Structure 1
Amino acid sequence: MPDPITPVLTKRWLSPESWRIETYEQLEGYTAARKALAATPEQLVAVVKDSGLRGRGGAGFPAGVKWSFMPPNEDKPHYLVINADEGEPGTCKDIPLMMADPHSLIEGCIIASYAMRSHHCFIYVRGEALHCIRRLNAATREAYRKGYLGKNIFGTGYDLELTVHAGAGAYICGEETALLDSLEGRRGQPRLKPPFPAAAGLYAAPTTVNNVETIASAPYIVNAGSAWFREMGREKSPGPKIYSISGHVEKPGQYECPLGTTLRELLELAGGMKDGIPLKFWTPGGSSTPMFTAEHLDTPLDFEGAAEAGSMLGTTAVQVFNETVSVPWAVMKWTQFYEHESCGKCTPCREGTYWLTQILERMVEGHGTAEDIDTLLDVCDNILGRSFCALGDGAVSPITSGIKYFRDEFLALCRQQQGSATAHELVGAQA
């Protein structure tokens, strides 16, 4: 077993001017692309399948299987689209990767595009991340000047165009079909599936949408092999992962560890809880994943471990909260975000998030009732599994898990309100 903190994806981040193509080439840059283009697309898909690489954007779908869905014929153009929208609260892994090491993503795009017989790749970046867009554009220009993009790459006869696209700033565009609509110039709203993108995606042509971290892992797998990749992580969730740790820790930031690392280990890397105030609750993969408590410190943070404990790995956006934070207040702030970001296409999400926000705001202001808790859970039940995309499911996760673990805090708000009402009644009676 290799050293659990030996960097793979982040190994170039601290190199001087790590974003330059000269630095990248000094550190094995573009060797994997040359090796990949000497193989066949089928061989590359097989290597990625054997590695067990799973999508790093949240769903954890096997990347090699996803690549294999692309049709072998080229009756229509094939497209590879990189989801670099990264709008999930607490998530901050893709933007640092693109800032510090953009050429690892570009090399991964070459490898994945070739494997799926695509000749045009798009990187869809969240529009607010201007610094990231500029750096990606600069790296793309460097790659074109070197002949690593464009016509006849490495003299192999393979052509690839790469376009960096700035999104218009909407959380819903992190959903792959809404992203495709936005990329086509329309309002970002999820599409009905089927058809799936592999059959009819961008411009109604076969398309694969992958996360930045997923594609940036491809060069390492091609160079070192699938067996090496499987030495890290766990059997069903192999490989390294960038964990974004924020909140009440001494050293928030990005920490690369094998999949299956626990929060106890991550807290040790992050210097422990800030000011020594004990942990109260945390999210394993952003606000759309059900929260955990201090009882889950040793839960393996991989796709199976998180699910078995009642949550999801998500984007590994670990948000840590100490005992000073009110759970109903935190849940209210997250729900306000989901209400604001709902695209409005489906009634359960559009109306449900609105009413959830109204109830939570009233409770936090001290005007709630015990019945409000049952109403919250009832509304959540009518959203879960009934919304057009996963935004609705994500919106109810903080509420249902918050009530599950901290029902007393919600009840305390109601008792406080009832106590005030009783006091007012007594004053009125005395008058």
Structure 2
Amino acid sequence: MTHSAGATSALTNFHADRAVLVLEDGRAFTGRSFGARGVTVGEIVFNTGMTGYQETLTDPSYHRQIVVMTAPHIGNTGINDEDDESRKIWVAGFIVRDPSPRPSNWRSERSLESELEAQGIVGISDIDTRALTRHLRERGVMRAGIFSGEELIDPSGRDLPVADLVHKVLAAPKMAGADLAREVSTDQAFTIEPQGERRATVVAVDLGIKSMTPLRMAERGIRVHVVPSSITIEEITALEPDGVFFSNGPGDPGAATHEVELLREVLDRKIPYFGICFGNQILGRALGYGTYKLNYGHRGINQPVLDRETSKVEVTAHNHGFAVDAPIDGESIAPHDGGRYGRVVVSHVGLNDNVVEGLRALDVPAFSVQYHPEAAAGPHDAAYLFDRFIDLMQNNGVAAANEEK
């Protein structure tokens, strides 16, 4: 078989740009390097959103995860300096089918690939992401590695066998049991001032918070003190909050001992509480329920959820691989310490698989949801939850005043 000079050049370039994705079960995909060259390992997950890749990349909940975008064309709108959800890209690696050769959007300031290169994020393109996603749906999320450049060859210049690459993947830590919130949390507290007249003050514990979340609260007149995950209850109460918020974040809620104990201190003082995503799982554990790892999780901006209080179906943004194990139907007594937190209901359920998507305590002022009402990126169906938090804080203030009388 012969090749023209152009074809030979293309083959040579492909070999130089070659990247290999290897899963811990031995499945391998060969494509092109996208972003930085080198090696990265982590838990591989897929995101079904057709847009919002910049918000996905900068979501701290993806710390130590390699993200597969199921939408085939990624990078069309480039990267700007306004849509980041945190201070940097957090994904361990990035996988796309067809990256845009050039961005086309009036807000774009640089290309997706140049941003990945600048931040040292190893990626791969030109693989069958549909086949990869189906594999993960059937086998479940697992560890994986992306290898490119010198990481694909041994000292003699020969290609490393897939078995050697699998061995490197298996050396990576698993997500189960990982305590990661402290790795992504802010080091220094900061305050987001309310827009307009102040209606409430909230302490937001940063477990991997997205920047849009305190902004959504500030839009409603809330002064938000964003604080490190290591904060104590004494430091929280010193800020005299009307409510406490726990954010989204990475890792296994079963390993978050400090956060669970801190929330119990909040519940004991009957300070109104609202939690999102990881904050929902922490509330579940604080109440005494268990958590478990989903087979492949929910990640995307098109997940249907039923709000049982209103019977409305919301299309919502998700990013979670763990869920709360609580009775779905009717009231239950929170198991912790003989039921000292009273009655609890599952307020929201996922319509795809009946996973618990929200909790509401009936005897202490606390509620949470497993998804992302801040909608960055995603639909705005669940934005009312921030208003519900304000109502809870205001009603709790009235109740406290009546108790004092």
The TM-score with structure 1 as length reference comes to 0.27
Structure with the largest fraction of helix: 1
Question: Which of 1 and 2 has higher RCO (CA within 8 Å, sep 6+)?
Answer: 1
